[in-house]
Amino acid sequence: YAMLLSLIFLIVLVAAVVGFVFRHEIKTNFESNLNLALRDYNVTADRHSEAVDTIQRTLHCCGVQNYSDWERTEYFTQRGIPRSCCKSQDDCLEEDLKDLSKAKLKVFVDGCFFLVTSTMESKMSVVAGISFGIACFQLVGIILACCLSQYITNNQYEMV
């Protein structure tokens, strides 16, 4: 049992170190995947499109760097900027969303990439604290399992 806990502890520790070391590559990868999701937005109505809509609605953002990123997508030529970018759903007309100058007044202008990464970085202290707490419990479990094993091998454990 102590070996299993030690293995899990090491896997979590390695994952944390790798995540910290490669955080810039993770950001770059996220940005390229967000650009791909925008390019393929609603072509197949898949979960990537739903994820983009959720991010834009939740964080009050639009596009990767800003709302004008939508201009380079196939979806924009057909329908304009998505409604998930709208500040108010009642005030967003499809004609306004097809014109960037009109849309600027009706949609969120900030890009999602900066907001997502800054939100993730602000929550990292909470994640690190919870991870540290779990690691402490794992270490206590490892120590207690080793003590029990030692106690059993010394034949001081009485069978019931």
Model confidence over 49-77: pLDDT tens digits? 888 999 999 999 999 999 989 988 888 88
Query: For the chain, how many structural domains are there in total?
Result: 1
Beta bridge partners, 133, equal none
Q: Is 90's pLDDT higher than 60?
A: yes
- How large a percentage of the chain has pLDDT more than 90? 19
Q: What is the CATH number of the domain that holds 153?
A: 1.10.1450.10
- Give me the domain span that covers residue 18: 1-158
Backbone angles phi, psi at 107, to 5 degrees: -115, 165
Beta strands in 43-142 (DSSP E): none
Q: Is the pLDDT of residue 143 over 90?
A: yes
